């Protein structure tokens, strides 16, 4: 059931949250009907105060594919004393993982040294699972790669618990889940995204349509990587400034998105959404009281760019 809230009381019901339309809706927004979206689950909230604007299938747990990397990023960024200029050496294991799983990649080359900041862009723009692996291996604790990545996933679950997310679970640092124990609900993923979006570094990373990184090779040379953001909403929807795509067999197409116009920012989620970018535009229009979705033309990705 599609529902909406406009500066009104929320009523808790058994098994979920009832969002009720308010007669006090802003005049501009009142002209925009509650949108119909393709997503099986969706949510929109006000970044400033976290108030719900729209919800669909709020309590149904769904896999989230690479939108998992939002949590990977914010766990890294909220690590005490994190050094974004720390150099990380790419291991062959990271490349092997991508090949083994058919995962999206930043095409990191074995032996190259990249900074943590560069790896965050490599993970969030082309959705590089190799970069996610590198970050989990670097920021986890333990004497083996397996132990460190397991430790890092534990930190992701601790972050969810810290935010009070009771229907969110991670068994993966990038969204590839063999057991299917990597799930969330639309409002909980939106809450995690809101938390991440409060980081200035995170915002800077996810709003970029592309990013170039100069890395040091194993022989001391320089390799320049160019990554393109898989989020086609950027440059297509006025004010769009994030956040992350995701696609998986069980999860379907997913999108966590954000846009800012004036002093207002909305963050939203579309899970298992065949028409995810238009879904996002419709939900943002509902928040802003606009009709941008009707004429939006999606940005094209360059040939050879990752799709996610």
Span 110-136, pLDDT tens digits: 999 999 999 999 999 999 999 999 999
Active-site residue, from 104, 121, 127, 290: 127
φ, ψ at 56 (rounded to 5°): -140, 125
Residue 242, H or E segment: strand 240-248
Cβ contact 132:88 at 8 Å: no
Q: Is 69 assigned a catalytic role?
A: yes
* pLDDT at site 33: 86
Mean pLDDT of the 230-259 span = 98
Give the three-state DSSP class for 46: strand
**Tens digit of pLDDT for each residue in 277-304?**
999 999 999 999 999 999 999 999 999 9
Residues 6+ apart with CB under 8 A from 75: 139, 152, 155, 156, 159
Assess whether pLDDT exceeds 90 at residue 19: no
Q: How far apart are CA 26 and CA 29, in angstroms?
A: 5
Assess whether pLDDT exceeds 70 at residue 219: yes
* pLDDT at site 31: 61
* pLDDT at site 80: 97
Q: Indicate the range of 9-13, 176-180, 222-226 predicted with least confidence.
A: 9-13
Residues 6+ apart with CB under 8 A from 165: 184, 188, 191, 192
Q: Is 127 assigned a catalytic role?
A: yes
Is pTM beyond 0.75 here?
Answer: yes
* pLDDT at site 161: 98
10 Å CB burial of residue 271 (0-12, 13-18, 19+) is buried
Active-site residue, from 56, 66, 104, 232: 66
Assess whether pLDDT exceeds 80 at residue 224: yes
* pLDDT at site 22: 28
* pLDDT at site 32: 74
Assess whether pLDDT exceeds 90 at residue 61: yes
Residues 6+ apart with CB under 8 A from 177: 63, 171, 250
Q: How far apart are CA 35 and CA 48, in angstroms?
A: 22
Instruction: Count other C-beta atoms under 10 Å from residue 278's C-beta.
Output: 20
* pLDDT band with cut points at 50, 70 and 90 for residue 1: very low
* pLDDT band with cut points at 50, 70 and 90 for residue 2: very low
Q: Is 199 assigned a catalytic role?
A: no
10 Å CB burial of residue 159 (0-12, 13-18, 19+) is buried
């Amino acid at each position: 059931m599609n529902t909406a809230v406009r500066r009104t009381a929320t009523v808790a019901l058994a098994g979920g949250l009832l969002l009720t339309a308010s007669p006090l809706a802003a005049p501009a927004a009142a002209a925009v009907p509650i949108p119909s979206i393709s997503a099986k689950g969706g949510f929109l909230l006000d970044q400033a105060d976290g108030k719900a604007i729209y919800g669909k299938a709020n309590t149904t747990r769904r896999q989230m594919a690479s939108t998992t990397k939002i949590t990977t990023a914010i766990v890294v960024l909220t690590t005490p004393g994190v050094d974004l200029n720390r150099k990380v050496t790419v291991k062959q294991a990271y490349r092997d993982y991508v090949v083994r799983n058919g995962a999206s990649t930043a095409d990191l080359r074995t032996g190259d040294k990249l900074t943590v900041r560069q790896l965050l862009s490599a993970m969030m723009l082309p959705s590089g699972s190799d970069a996610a692996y590198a970050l989990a291996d670097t920021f986890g604790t333990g004497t083996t790669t397996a132990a460190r990545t397991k430790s890092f996933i534990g930190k992701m679950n601790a972050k969810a618990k810290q935010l009070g997310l009771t229907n969110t679970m991670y068994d993966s640092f990038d969204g590839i889940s063999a057991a299917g124990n990597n799930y969330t609900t639309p409002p909980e993923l939106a809450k995690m995204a809101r938390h991440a979006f409060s980081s200035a570094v995170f915002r800077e990373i996810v709003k970029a349509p592309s990013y170039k990184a100069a890395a040091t090779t194993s022989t001391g040379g320089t390799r320049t990587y160019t990554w393109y953001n898989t989020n086609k909403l950027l440059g297509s929807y006025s004010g769009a400034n994030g956040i992350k795509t995701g696609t998986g067999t069980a999860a379907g197409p997913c999108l966590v998105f954000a846009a800012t116009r004036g002093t207002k920012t909305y963050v939203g989620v579309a899970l298992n959404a065949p028409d995810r970018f238009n879904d996002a535009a419709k939900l943002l229009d509902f928040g802003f009281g606009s009709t941008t979705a009707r004429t939006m033309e999606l940005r094209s990705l360059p040939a050879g760019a990752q799709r996610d």
